């Protein structure tokens, strides 16, 4: 496989900073161009003096071009990072994998651990002979006929079952019940806020505790604090039954050798980062073994030997079992009150009078400390570049200020005693040098405005800048060579300062697009800059641009202006578009402009669809049968086109009567864009509805969505 092309990382050529090298190249060019007519290339020659002054100015331009990027982007009143999303904005994504969803639930306050499984249960039945989808028949229906060989079960893909283990610091049954209800509700809110497209949360269970008590006799070494040792033993046993998932800071993740893109992969959490290695190593405890407990106890500093160890029943009697199986809907918990851990030193039992009770207080303190989480500070999640320094890159000093006094063009000028012809020659030289001065001044202005060239925010014209007021789409920048009355440059300019400045900008920027359109100057070049920014994210608007070119002017904008507007809108929204590209809308919140799926956001930006224009994205998994549907008579679907109409399928409903959508080319573009942007594991179908059909659909869709939302909220409140 051929190596893909990459950008070079070598240090840029330092020739622009080397005065001697520039001078040598300049003399070489002069010799090549005028070697037959001009042979005096010595340092005293005026032509060489002019060349040296220009080389000196170029070294200054080269020096400034190598300023740090934040310095180049910094100008008065402008944040250099405004167009550079921070890592915490651009690198995280909404949950994509089961592991991502699990992290999101573990981040909920009060959750110690969580596990998410795909539901593999029959939800409906399909009759291949009649092409009908029906609810599952009740197993308890008396006299039910044997199922037809043409009928098969439908197991819907994309349903999640969430099991949550609480941190377990609640004391009473009422406290635990209330905490469990709050955790279920918060977990549901977070999951539905980041629910992957075509996926739904089938069930959220807060696991009950299965208390396990132990009897043990341990030989300990010479320790200074037996109370702390016993509390550590309790903590190790509890950690074996129910290990906590550690949250790590940005500094800790970097110390572990994780790259920044690896650290911010997945959803951004409130309490830090969860390392995938830590998460993979903490599986749900389905059984506990005496052999594992021995290993855990021997790992506690100060424990020399495990003399005896056994499980006990509720009355403290020893059990002969060496393995206990944990119920699927429960989580093991160390029952300290019904356990007895004895400490011995050289066959003598350590006096319990000063330990019993005190070690439990210390243990409870350690448990609460482990369950407590610190909010993840913004300073830990952001990796912003250092603040830039305004280096006033555009400031330019005319090369005429640096010529020897004998030329008579500097600030000192010529004495009044010299003849008028000498003054005229000096003005001629000033005018000749103004061409070079202007080219250099424009280059400094171009470098100072590099931030504008790579900006994707809508720019308001500068009211104090007449040229800018005429054109907010500049791609070439200019500035008047400064004088302040010292060099007398205004005397050789034909127009006044304002007119000179306006004309200078007009001849600097191409007055019209090459195609001869009426687009604003520089618009095509600004579009190419936007294409460059889009390419950095692996995005492109080429197909859309071709269609826009054929649409003509709309809403007071040319096609090129509308294209630039849509590109800028896409780039401004890209942190959200990139992060949420695979998520669905939030079922628990009312539908609206702020509650849309990531795919819908992408399609709106890619197709140039305004936020108030209507189209709908419907996930088929949300149409699946509910528990009460088993009592429904008749099928759910007739003439079903596929065996399973629910799994991994979406439909997009567009208004077919609007002028833009009546164009067959644009319809084809919409359908192709839907295919390109829809996640590969989903099957998408585009439907075009006429006005009356759309009204009927909207009424039914709104009513169904509100009922579905009410059902979910009522289910969570139980």
Q: Which long-range contacts (CB under 8 A, 24 or more apart) does 343-347 make?
A: 343/218, 343/220, 343/226, 343/229, 343/230, 344/217, 344/218, 344/219, 344/220, 344/307, 345/219, 345/220, 345/221, 345/222
State which of 341, 375, 409 marks the end of a domain.
375
Same domain, 123 and 176: yes
Edge-to-edge strand list for the sheet holding 151-155? 132-134, 122-127, 151-155
Rounded Cα distance between 284 and 280, Å, is 10
Residue 295: its pLDDT value, please? 93
Both tokens assigned to 358: 């005190």
The pLDDT of residue 470 is 44
The conformation of residue 94, written as its DSSP 8-state character, comes to S
User: Would residue 514 count as lying in a domain?
Assistant: no
The answer on pLDDT for 482 being more than 90 is no
pLDDT band at 466 (very low <50, low <70, confident <90, very high): very low
Whether residue 204 is found in the same domain as residue 104:
yes
pLDDT at 140 over 60: no
Domain residues for the domain of 305 are: 210-245+282-375
The token duo for 383 is: 């990796």
Please state the three-class secondary structure of 571-623 as a single string: HHCHHHHHHCCCECCCCCCCCECCECCHHHHHHHHHHCCCCCCCCEEEEHHHH
Burial 428-458 (b: 16+ CB within 10 A, else e): ebbeebbebbbebbbbbbbbbbebbbebbee
Average pLDDT, the chain: 84
Could you report the per-residue pLDDT of 646-657, keeping only the tens digit for each? 999 999 999 999
40: tokens are 């005096």
pLDDT at 85 > cutoff 60: yes
**Alpha carbon separation from 388 to 60, 66, 254, 558 (Å, rounded):** 20, 14, 25, 37
Same domain, 339 and 237: yes
Q: Are residues 229 and 331 in the same domain?
A: yes
Select the more confidently predicted residue: 525 or 675: 675
Candidates 615, 593, 592; CA nearest to 673 is: 615
Give dist(CA 104, CA 581) in Å, integer. 17
Residues in a beta bridge with 654:
688
Average pLDDT over residues 567-580: 88
* Integer Cα distance of 18 and 58 in angstroms: 9
Mean pLDDT value of segment 7-20: 68
32 falls in which pLDDT band (50, 70, 90)? Answer: confident
d(CA 399, CA 266): 55
| 88 belongs to a structural domain | no
Residues in the chain: 718
* Percent of the residues in the chain that have a pLDDT greater than 70, as a whole number: 85
CATH number of the domain at 132, please.
3.30.300.30
Whether pTM exceeds 0.75: yes
User: 280: pLDDT confidence band, cut at 50, 70 and 90?
Assistant: confident
Residues 365, 298: one domain?
Answer: yes
**In this structure, is residue 67 part of a structural domain?**
no
Residue 9, token pair as written in the block: 């990382």
Do 237 and 353 share a structural domain? yes
Q: At 489, list the tokens.
A: 């440059």
Q: Output DSSP code: residue 318.
A: B
Q: 293: buried, middle or exposed (CB in 10 Å: 19+, 13-18, 0-12)? A: buried
Six token digits for residue 567: 């590109």
Q: Picking from 33-42, 57-66, 404-413, 674-683, which range would have the lowest pLDDT averaged per residue?
A: 33-42
- Provide the number of structural domains found in the chain: 3
Where residue 519 falls among pLDDT bands split at 50, 70, 90? low
216 and 316 together in one domain: yes
Same domain, 315 and 408: no
Report the range of poorest mean pLDDT among 227-236, 242-251, 463-472. Answer: 463-472
Asked if residue 484 is part of any domain, the answer here is yes
Provide the pLDDT for residue 511: 58
The rounded percent of the chain whose pLDDT value lies above 90 is 34
164 and 204 in contact (C-beta within 8 Å)? yes
> What is the band of 361 on the pLDDT scale with cuts at 50, 70, 90?
low
Lowest mean pLDDT among 142-156, 444-458, 481-495: 142-156
**Pair 443, 498 in one domain:** yes
- pLDDT grade for 64, boundaries at 50, 70 and 90: very high
- pLDDT value for 319: 87
Above 90 in pLDDT, residue 343? Answer: no
pLDDT at 634 over 60: yes
Torsion from C-alpha of 137, 140, 141, 145, nearest 10 degrees: 70
358, part of any domain: yes
Residue 313 CA to residue 321 CA, distance in Å, equals 11
pLDDT at 353: 45
Q: Which of 333, 331, 374 is CA-nearest to residue 109?
A: 374
Q: Are 718 and 188 in contact (CB under 8 A)?
A: no
Confirm whether 26 is domain-assigned.
no
Q: Does the pLDDT of residue 516 top 70, yes or no? A: no
User: What band does 354 get if pLDDT is binned at 50, 70 and 90?
Assistant: very low
Mean pLDDT, rounded, for 568-577: 88
Please report the beta strands in 156-298, taking only residues with DSSP state E, as ranges in sequence order: 159-166, 200-206, 208-220, 287-289
Pair 424, 365 in one domain: no
Of the candidates 585, 592, 614, 604, which has an alpha carbon nearest to the alpha carbon of residue 695? 614
Distance CA 469, CA 477 (A): 14
pLDDT for res 171? 63
12, part of any domain: no
Could you tell me if 259 and 96 are in contact, meaning their C-beta atoms sit under 8 angstroms apart?
no
How many of the other CB atoms lie within 10 Å of CB of 388? 20
Q: Assess whether 359 and 223 both reside in one domain.
A: yes
Residue 678 located in a structural domain: no
The reply to whether 342 and 403 lie within a common domain is no
């Amino acid at each position: 496989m051929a190596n893909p092309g990459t950008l070079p990382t070598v240090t840029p050529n330092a020739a622009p900073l080397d005065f001697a090298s520039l001078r040598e190249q300049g003399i070489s060019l002069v010799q090549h161009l005028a070697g037959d007519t001009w042979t005096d290339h010595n340092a005293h020659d005026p032509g060489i003096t002019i060349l040296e002054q220009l080389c000196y100015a170029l070294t200054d331009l080269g020096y400034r071009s190598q300023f740090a990027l934040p310095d180049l982007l910094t100008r008065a009143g402008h944040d250099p990072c405004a167009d550079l999303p921070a890592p915490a904005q651009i690198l995280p994504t909404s949950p994509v994998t089961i592991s991502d969803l699990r992290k999101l639930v573990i981040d909920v306050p009060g959750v110690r651990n969580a596990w998410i499984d795909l539901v593999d249960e029959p939800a409906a039945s399909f009759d291949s002979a009649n092409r009908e989808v029906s609810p599952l028949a009740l197993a308890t229906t008396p006299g039910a006929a044997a199922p037809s060989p043409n009928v098969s079960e439908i197991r819907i893909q994309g349903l999640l079952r969430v099991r949550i283990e609480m941190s377990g610091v609640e004391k009473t049954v009422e406290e635990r019940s209330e905490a469990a209800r709050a955790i279920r509700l918060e977990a549901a809110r977070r999951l539905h806020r980041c629910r992957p497209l075509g996926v739904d949360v089938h069930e959220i269970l807060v696991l009950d505790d299965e208390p396990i008590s132990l009897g043990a006799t341990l030989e300990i070494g010479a320790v200074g604090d037996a109370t702390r040792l016993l509390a550590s033993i309790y903590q190790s046993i509890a950690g074996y039954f129910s290990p906590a998932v550690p949250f790590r800071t940005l500094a800790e993740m970097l110390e572990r050798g994780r790259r920044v893109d690896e650290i911010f992969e997945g959803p951004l959490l409130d309490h830090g980062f969860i390392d995938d290695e830590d998460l993979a190593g903490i599986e749900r405890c389905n059984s506990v073994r005496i052999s594992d407990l021995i290993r855990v106890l021997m790992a506690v500093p100060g424990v020399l030997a495990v003399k005896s160890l056994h499980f006990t029943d509720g009355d403290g009697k020893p059990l002969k079992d060496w393995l206990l199986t944990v119920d699927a809907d429960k989580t093991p918990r160390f029952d300290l009150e019904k356990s007895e851990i004895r400490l011995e030193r050289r066959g003598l039992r350590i006096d319990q009078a000063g330990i019993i009770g005190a070690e439990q207080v210390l243990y409870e303190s350690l448990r609460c400390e482990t369950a407590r989480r610190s909010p993840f500070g913004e300073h830990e999640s952001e990796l912003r570049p250092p603040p830039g320094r305004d280096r006033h890159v555009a400031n330019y000093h005319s090369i005429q200020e640096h010529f020897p006094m004998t030329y008579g063009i500097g600030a000192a000028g010529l004495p009044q005693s010299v003849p008028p012809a000498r003054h005229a020659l000096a003005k001629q030289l000033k005018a000749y040098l103004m061409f070079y001065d202007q080219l250099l001044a424009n280059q400094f202005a171009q470098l100072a405005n590099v931030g504008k060239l790579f900006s994707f925010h809508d720019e308001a014209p500068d009211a104090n800048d007449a040229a800018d007021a005429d054109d907010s789409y500049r791609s070439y920048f200019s500035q008047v060579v400064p004088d302040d009355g010292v060099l007398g440059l205004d005397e050789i300019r034909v127009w006044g300062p304002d007119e000179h400045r306006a004309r200078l900008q007009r001849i600097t920027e191409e007055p019209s697009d090459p195609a001869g359109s009426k687009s604003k100057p520089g618009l095509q070049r600004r579009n190419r800059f936007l294409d460059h920014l889009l390419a950095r994210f692996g995005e492109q608007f080429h197909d859309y641009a071709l269609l826009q070119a054929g649409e003509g002017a709309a809403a007071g904008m040319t096609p090129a202006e509308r294209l630039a507007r849509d590109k800028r809108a896409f780039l401004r929204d890209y942190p959200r578009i990139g992060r949420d590209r695979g998520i669905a809308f939030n079922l628990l919140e009312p539908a609206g402009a702020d509650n849309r799926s990531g795919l819908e956001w992408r399609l709106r930006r890619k197709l140039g669809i305004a936020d108030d224009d209507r189209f709908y994205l419907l996930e088929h998994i949300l149409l699946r049968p509910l528990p009460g549907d088993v009592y429904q008579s008749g099928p759910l679907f007739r003439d079903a086109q596929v065996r399973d109409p629910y799994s991994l399928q979406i439909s997009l409903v567009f208004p077919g009567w609007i002028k833009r959508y009546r164009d067959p080319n644009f319809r084809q573009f919409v359908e192709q864009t839907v295919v390109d942007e829809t996640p590969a594991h989903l099957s998408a179908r585009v439907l075009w509805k006429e006005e009356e059909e759309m009204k009927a659909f909207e009424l039914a869709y709104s009513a169904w969505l509100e009922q579905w939302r009410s059902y979910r909220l009522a289910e969570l409140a139980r």
